[in-house]
Amino acid sequence: MVDRTRAETMSVPRGLVLRFPFGRPFGAPGNPEQQRVVLEDALTMLSSAQEPGEVRIMPYRWRREDYGRILAERHGGMSAGI
Q: Could you report the per-residue pLDDT of 37-82, keeping only the tens digit for each?
A: 999 999 999 889 888 888 898 999 888 899 999 999 999 876 555 5
One-letter amino acid of 62? W
CB atoms within 10 A of CB 1: 17
* Residue 15: partners with Cβ closer than 8 Å, 6 or more residues away: 1, 7, 8, 53, 54, 55, 56
Instruction: Write down the pTM of the prediction.
Output: 0.80
